[in-house]
Amino acid sequence: MSASLTPIRGTWIRVCGYEIRVHVREGRGDEHDVPLVLCNGIGASLEVFDSLIQGLDPERTVISFDVPGSGLSPVPRLPYTFHVLAATVARMLTQLGYVRFDVLGYSWGGALAQQLAFQFPRRCRRAVLMCTATGVMMVPAKPYVLWHMTTPRRYRDPEYAAQVAPLIYGGAARTDLEGVRAVFGKVETAASRRGYVYQLLAGSIWASLPFLPGIWQPVLILAGDDDPIIPLVNAKAMQRLIPHAQLSVFPGGHIDPLLRSDDIGSRIERFLTQKDNDNDE
């Protein structure tokens, strides 16, 4: 896909007591233009998705946002659950004027995407689960990987991010350190410590295994074959449990979708545009 020159409209939405920064890349706007909502990884701001958005159809409406406590969205007074956050995102989309939507969840945001698909089946048309898993009931990463994930320092310090990236992200991060620096250099403002803890807490009490069979939308599971954070076995388990899921394995690690926009964008577009009865990957 070629890079999109479509202007992005930035706005702030006040919903459910939260102030949320939102970017909307407006597409063609007809009845076939179902907006794609991007749910980010832990601690990241919406700018991390810039390269991925460029790999998508420039006529597709794409909505990205900063989770409360990440990027420029203020830290909420109290922690939240994924159930509450999903309801908040749905109301945010309603205020923006969108009834139906597709959702893409990356890493931590994949939990939010699963919750949205399950909680709002009539509004969520399709779901893309990218480098993500099933919460506390997943096959975990190795302890040294989890240790580095307990702090948002990699978003505050691009040099530190480049140092630890080969260990925790795998794939292209083992060799493309400039790409890693570029991705994390885009972060507008890293999550505050309290905001990051809130995200960790939300994940620590959430699991999707019990409700995965109840997600009936078409689902694309994108997983890397060299992802230290989310071992590939998790994606295979999700594919078996979600009735209409297809698994697409790419060569690379956890951060590759943010570095290889053409390949990953093409996979996403093929899925979002295929007919409902088309089960080909």
Environment class of 203 (CB within 10 Å of its CB; exposed 0-12, middle 13-18, buried 19+): middle
Residue-wise DSSP of 127-188: EEEES---BTTS-PPPHHHHHHTT--HHHH-HHHHHHHHHHHT-GGGGT-HHHHHHHHHT-S
Amino acid at 93: L
- Catalytically active residues are 107
Cα(51)–Cα(119) distance, integer angstroms:
29
CA-angle at 112, arms to 110 and 118, nearest 5°: 105
Environment class of 181 (CB within 10 Å of its CB; exposed 0-12, middle 13-18, buried 19+): middle
Cα(105)–Cα(112) distance, integer angstroms:
7
Cα(73)–Cα(45) distance, integer angstroms:
9
